[in-house]
Homo-oligomer: A and B are copies of this chain.
């Protein structure tokens, strides 16, 4: 038996301190301090006023680039296609299977126009159209994930977005060929090898070379997140992501090695990632902890896993599944694994989760790559009010209103009363012009 390096905090549902302990465990705020705020404000301002010149300058400074103009920081479709073609066959095949499954699933999310006509000929409806142009931020270095390129770009492509522009920093000139190959597969039109707040500013306001987009999606560090929050309104943004989390609810009958590795697959992301296990079976919690300590030394990212499990992980013992669901709804986890015999029975009790992985075979990692649904999911409890990234994030709606003369006359009478009640008499008179005398 190896040394017990992993000892997640144990909580007991219903114990005196349970609620406070749970709240403390979940507390997370991304802190954008004054220094970050001021730095980002300056970068956004400079890129907005000096365009390409500022962009090149910042990239030389932050990414140790030797580029003298934006030409050197631009990759066209041919370069992406080349990356795809030079990929080892096994990787290319895997990427293609993943891309196809992601595309198939997301096509089910397409929304369409609708309208209806009332008795007097008045027609009301809603039109759905794609965004014109979207910017995709992909982190560089360690966290450059080709799977994220697929997950962000394919929904945009399915939505019918005309142009998808990607930015990815290449610190020290290091280009990730898998990322470029994924971009080719996902239909990305152009890549700029820039990053940080400067890349966000360029996408939001446009420069001589980088086209201004309508929405920016994709994860990034605190500078990127702060810049996205700052340009929100000028462009749309996706959610600002916190650390990744998993909650596993187990009946205690799944192989403890499987559950341990599922929890590890979150914990290995970074030290702030959170992996929580809930079970009514106390002995099973011990078994999973034993498995963890057995498996840890065999893993490449053991250091990160150890820190994440010990500082943010938890094992929660509950009396039964009803209480497990209650705790889950309080957490509103990004990923929820229902590692139980009959996950369908548990499903109606779950109100909040980004994605639910049902049954013992549905490892969360399958969802990260190739199940089909998106792996960009609401973190830090935001599943209470937000959704996985989807085709709907790249479409927008327009209301259509076409009154018949008769319909306008009837509606005009109602609008007139309400507008006068609000003291808006130009509104009232505009409506009254349409009332038949």
Contact = CB atoms under 8 A, between A and B. Distances in A.
Interface of A: 30, 90-91, 93-95, 97-98, 105, 108-109, 114, 116, 123-124, 126-127, 129, 131-132, 142, 145-147, 178, 214-215, 229, 232-233, 235-236, 239-240, 255, 257-258, 261-262, 264-265, 267-269, 299-301, 305, 343, 347, 350-359, 361-374, 377-378, 380, 382-388, 390, 392, 396-405, 407-408, 411-415, 417-419, 421-431, 433-434
A399 B403 contact: no
A361 B415 CA distance: 13
A372 B124 contact: yes
Contacts of A116: 108
Given A124-B373, A418-B98, A426-B301, A403 B146 contact: no
A301 B116 CA distance: 36
A interface, over-half SS? mixed
A131 B356 contact: no
A264 B430 contact: yes
A114 B146 CA distance: 28
Copies of the chain in the assembly? 2
Contacts of A387: 396-398
A110 to B, nearest CB: 11
Contacts of A415: 363, 365-366, 368-370
A417 B91 contact: yes
A418 B369 contact: yes
A233 B380 contact: yes
- Report the 7 A-B pairs with minimum CB-CB distance, sorted nearest first: A373-B399, A236-B385, A361-B408, A358-B402, A94-B417, A355-B399, A387-B397
Given A257-B433, A412-B366, A371 B417 contact: no
A392 to B, nearest CB: 8
